[in-house]
Amino acid sequence: MCRMVLASGSFDTADILAAAITMSRGETADHDNATICHRHGWGAVWRDLRTGKLASHRDPSPAWQGMPDSTLTDLQTDFLAVHVRNATLPAKQGIRFTHPLTRQTDDWYFMHNGYMPTVHRLLGLERSEFDSAEYFDYLVPPGAGTLSEGDVLKRLRAVPPGGSTSGNAIAVNRRGASIVHWSPSDTPTPRFFTLHEFVTSEVHVVSSERVPALAESSLWREVAPASVFTIPFPPQKQG
């Protein structure tokens, strides 16, 4: 299980990274899941303001160890998404399993919070090797340019039952960031998988938890359940 936070617009990168560290330590946990700390790696994807191109970073160490010493605190960007991870299965730890996941065939970056152990069947696979990677390939077919709410929700409704907890995800490509907020009706910890957001004239933040350091409680609202929306990016600069 994981925590995610993204910001789009005008913001201080250090504030978003600090929010991710706060969630990784469990300092803002207010939910119904036994998982409080998220110590199994962290990663980020952001937009380069000069070129409009995406870049990413992954680190298998706990966020509170690796993030403060990274160069990300000095980023100048208008989009940043951060993922802090707690592995559902002990064997699925290390850099291979650290988000954001990427594909060699296209320019998508993918972050997932939840467990989707049956989605591999829809890819014709006999068994699951890494549920988030299989979910990535299923939800964002190779070659897809954009995600639509109707198509994504149709795909999610087709996932076979059997232990899935949530399909919450952030899928990013050069056109924008798509946020997927979905959990099956029988998820055992619905509060844990509820996404929150606050929007001002300058910034749009989406987070797994309400982080007081980012905004006071009254400014946060729950993201609509079973919803998908995209935050578009400005066109890339030429040259």
Residue 38 pLDDT grade (very low, low, confident, very high; cuts 50, 70, 90): confident
pLDDT tens, position by position, 7-37: 999 999 999 999 999 999 988 888 888 788 8
The verdict on residue 238 lying in a domain is: no
Asked if 174 and 115 touch (Cβ cutoff 8 Å), the reply is: no
Question: The domain containing residue 110 runs over which residues?
Answer: 2-232
pLDDT at position 167 is 97
pLDDT tens, position by position, 57-105: 999 999 999 999 898 988 999 999 999 998 877 788 899 999 999 987 8
Asked if 228 and 178 touch (Cβ cutoff 8 Å), the reply is: yes
The verdict on residue 239 lying in a domain is: no
Count of Cβ atoms closer than 10 Å to residue 52 Cβ: 16
Count of Cβ atoms closer than 10 Å to residue 133 Cβ: 20
The verdict on residue 237 lying in a domain is: no
pLDDT at position 239 is 46
Asked if 164 and 131 touch (Cβ cutoff 8 Å), the reply is: no
pLDDT at position 37 is 86
pLDDT at position 90 is 77
Q: Which stretches within the chain are classed as H helix? A: 13-25, 63-66, 131-139, 149-157
The verdict on residue 118 lying in a domain is: yes
The verdict on residue 176 lying in a domain is: yes
pLDDT tens, position by position, 134-168: 999 999 998 899 999 999 999 999 999 999 999 99
How far apart CA 86 and CA 100 sit, in angstroms, is 14
pLDDT tens, position by position, 42-62: 999 999 988 899 999 999 999
Q: What is the CATH number of the domain that holds 130?
A: 3.60.20.10
Please state whether beta strands 109-113 and 54-59 pair in parallel, antiparallel, or not at all (unpaired).
unpaired
How far apart CA 102 and CA 172 sit, in angstroms, is 10
pTM for this prediction: 0.95
Give the pLDDT mean for 195-220.
Answer: 96
The verdict on residue 218 lying in a domain is: yes
How far apart CA 86 and CA 208 sit, in angstroms, is 14
The verdict on residue 171 lying in a domain is: yes
Q: How many domains does one find in the chain?
A: 1
The verdict on residue 164 lying in a domain is: yes
pLDDT at position 236 is 61
pLDDT at position 117 is 96
Read off the amino acid at residue 223: V
